[in-house]
Structure 1
Amino acid sequence: MVGLLEGRVAIVTGAGRGIGRAHALELARHGARVVVNDFGVSLAGEGTGESPAEQVVAEIREAGGEAVANGADVADFAQAEAMVQQAIETFGGLDVLVNNAGFVRDRMLVNTSEEEWDAVVRVHLKGHFAPLRHAGAYWRAESKAGRERAARVVNTSSGAGLQGSVGQATYSAAKAGIAGLTLVAAQEMGRYGVTVNAIAPVARTRMTEGAFDTSAMALPEDNSPIVAWLASAESADVTGRVIEIDGGTVTLETGWRHGPARDLGRRWEAAEVGPALRELITEAPDPEPVYGA
């Protein structure tokens, strides 16, 4: 075991397979004690009856690490709270939350059902909010009691949420929401010693296989060293950032920024808007292309 995360306690959601599994193994390799969460669902979010979290826990223990399994539905508010409590009661505290759980139900926008929209937004966006809400309350209480922890949150956005992706309107909207949540949480929780960042991972997983050619894509574990560093005490000066990871390439996303502006000094007339807006568009950089466009 490497000591970057020695003595730290981490929760990784959706850690039974793919990227989440790689994160859990990497954090444990660096000395973290890990709560391995996985609800045990199919790619479309349906229950499978499997317990992949137990398998990951076994791998960690075989390598000499410490881990426990958790089967919470992270978008269930009470279950998310119990998951946070499990970490505290089992390992004596909580230092790291890696929000990773999610699934896809890809459809073109006009073919998307209400049920599909609700399910994807629920697991991704509420599934980030609920664990973060309860972990944040714990860290706030610790800070106010004079026991401030060097707490770290790593959320999981996506290029689909940052640039958009044809056929993934629901997933893109949820992942964009996670990026926005990351920015706000970083500002609100910094006073308690908590940093909040997000990654936009690229990897060959169940989500990407079958959707397009993944033969040249990075492996899930290629993302995890960045997560391990962000989870460490060393990363205290990095917060409110979204970081895309594609194999050996790390890109700091700049997100929405104020661009060219015109101040008319009074209320705009509708007929004045078109010419002014077109001038601003010529002055601004072209937007990143939408995936699949």
Structure 2
Amino acid sequence: MGICEGRVVIVTGAGGGIGREHALAFAREGAHVVVNDIGASRQGDGRSPGPAQQVVDEIIAMGGKAVINSDDVADWEGAGRLVQTAIDTFGRLDVLVNNAGFLRDRMLVSLSEDEWDAVIRVHLKGHFATMRHAGVYWRAQAKAGNPVDGRVINTSSGAGLMGSVGQGNYASAKGGILTLTQIAAVEFGRYGVTVNAIAPAARTRMTEEAMPDMVAAPTDGSFDFYDPANVSPLVVWLGSAESKDITGRCFEIEGDKVSVAIGWQHGPEAKAGRRWEPSELGPVVAKLVDEAPAPTPVYGA
């Protein structure tokens, strides 16, 4: 018996990379998996059911249960169909893993409106749309008196936590996902659903081009630090019944290292007891900044 035995899981962007490893890991722990992927390129172009079907075939070959879904997560009706696929095929939905996305990297002064819109759409809207449809289902179940033990695991990034030079669109979307996660954790909690996020670092087609030296697989048989399979055990645990007391958090996972991220918090303050004069704020701000912890540098700075 695995820790997700019989649980019904949706994994978006599961045709390759980290998402594929999530789908396989959930199946190994006894979950029934909806493998979602549109089969697009690294830049989001093209469509093919092939990658998702290969993952479904792997799960079935290992004795598991899986079904393909090729809907676009950022399409409103498509996100609804994705959730309905789980319900129609396996009778319910327990876990939603939002992972789908692609990159269109450029410096801000070269970033086009279409490149901005496409990345914000697939990452940020793609997370919201699936969460909204899943949330409606869980709310209906709770109101009907049916037990709900739901989980949402969203995918952010170090770029969303710290920022990343040349990835203004991607980092903004991933930062938005973190805030969305915090809000959903509170709103969905009343229905019996936890919502957490991960910020993974692994070798995928999105990192191989940007960081080929850092993520290259070792050839000497040593631990493969950037193997995407290293990320999935945490995601599977967050999708299990054991994680019911953890919500509204973001975990960084890289190789063998797991840490919990600490986001924006109220810091040092100063009060005047009246409206501030612009001319007097210079030393006040300098003192506040001096008293506050230094921010983690932006990636690539």
TM-score over 0.5 for the alignment? yes
Q: Deviations over 1:207-245 (max 9, x none)?
A: 001112222651111000000000001101000000000
Q: Deviations over 1:111-132 (max 9, x none)?
A: 1000000000000000000000
Deviation at 1:148, TM superposition (A): 2.6
Corresponding letter in the other structure for 2:226: A
Single out whichever of 51-60 and 259-268 deviates more from structure 2. 259-268
Asked if the contact 1:154/1:196 (under 8 Å) is kept, the reply is yes
Match of residue 220, structure 1, among 225, 228, 233:
228
Single out whichever of 115-124 and 258-267 deviates more from structure 2. 258-267
Match of residue 292, structure 1, among 288, 296, 300:
300
1:93 pairs with 2:101 = no
Structure 1 residues without counterparts, runs of 5 or longer: none
1:20 pairs with 2:19 = yes
Q: Secondary structure at the match of 2:269?
A: coil
- Map of 1:249 onto structure 2: 257
Provide the C-alpha distance between the structure 2 equivalents of 1:252 and 1:240, rounded to a whole number of angstroms. Answer: 11
Q: Secondary structure at the match of 1:208?
A: helix
Q: Secondary structure at the match of 1:3?
A: coil
- Map of 1:194 onto structure 2: 193
Identity fraction in percent: 64
Asked if the contact 1:81/1:131 (under 8 Å) is kept, the reply is yes
Deviation at 1:50, TM superposition (A): 4.9
- Map of 2:221 onto structure 1: none
Provide the C-alpha distance between the structure 1 equivalents of 2:133 and 2:285, rounded to a whole number of angstroms. Answer: 43
- Map of 1:51 onto structure 2: 50
Q: Deviations over 1:230-278 (max 9, x none)?
A: 0001101000000000111001001101110112121111112221111
Q: Deviations over 1:92-121 (max 9, x none)?
A: 000000000000001011110000000000
Q: Secondary structure at the match of 2:208?
A: coil
Provide the C-alpha distance between the structure 2 equivalents of 1:49 and 1:131, rounded to a whole number of angstroms. Answer: 21
Corresponding letter in the other structure for 1:132: M
- Map of 1:110 onto structure 2: 109
Q: Deviations over 1:11-40 (max 9, x none)?
A: 000000000000000001100000000011
Deviation at 1:174, TM superposition (A): 0.3
Q: 1:123 to 1:229 in 2, by over 3 A?
A: same
Structure 2 residues without counterparts, runs of 5 or longer: 218-224
Provide the C-alpha distance between the structure 2 equivalents of 1:190 and 1:15, rounded to a whole number of angstroms. Answer: 26
Q: Secondary structure at the match of 2:171?
A: helix
Asked if the contact 2:163/2:299 (under 8 Å) is kept, the reply is yes
Asked if the contact 1:16/1:52 (under 8 Å) is kept, the reply is yes
The RMSD of aligned alpha carbons is 0.9
Deviation at 1:51, TM superposition (A): 1.9
Match of residue 281, structure 1, among 273, 282, 289:
289
Asked if the contact 1:125/1:174 (under 8 Å) is kept, the reply is yes
